Amino acid sequence: MLSYVERIDEKYNNFYDLLIHEKITIADYPDYEIVDLKWLLDNSYIKINDTGYIELENPIQVYIFKDLNDNGVINYWTCPEIYRKEIDSLINIGFLSFENTLFSKLEQDYFNYHLNKTKFNNSLDLRNMYSHGTQPNGVNDEKKHRGNYMIFLKLFILSIIKINDELCIVNDENYSKN
């Protein structure tokens, strides 16, 4: 667990945050952690600077990996140009993949969970329920219909926000494709 160093009182959630905020040496780690540090050194993710402290070899690349780990996806056009260049190089060497879709895989999964059973067998299956006439129709089902309506409304609003974000990116001159 490289994010923990005994001499530092503050706890960090990950190794990236630790390196960004603290001065760390290899001597700060117990012997069993050295294998992981050596792997990071051998693969050029970290380096030892002239004063003996561990630094990120390519902070932008490591930040991209951290962002992907935290969020599962990166919107290429909202990144600064220097980050886009690094993303392009990671795509070229096969570390990252690029998709040209409105919704990311995680967002698609979110919609699929609510609307159908294509991926999740415990989904709400609301689309099929209402399009095939199997919706609740008892006397006390008004609350269920209202709840389902709110879910549909939430999904609709999320779609509108996503479309608006994409249109803003296309129309914003700061996000030129050149």
Q: Which helix (H) or strand (E) holds 56?
A: strand 54-56
d(CA 12, CA 147): 40
What single string gives the DSSP state of each residue in 7-21? T-SS--SSHHHHHHH
Q: How many CA atoms lie within 13 A of 138 on its CB side?
A: 5
Nearest residue to 68 via CA among 44, 96, 88 = 96
Q: What is the pLDDT along the chain (178 residues), one digit of tens a residue?
A: 899 999 997 789 899 999 999 999 999 999 999 999 999 999 999 999 999 999 999 999 999 999 999 999 999 988 999 999 999 999 999 999 999 899 999 999 999 999 998 888 888 888 878 877 777 677 678 888 899 999 999 999 999 999 999 999 888 766 555 4
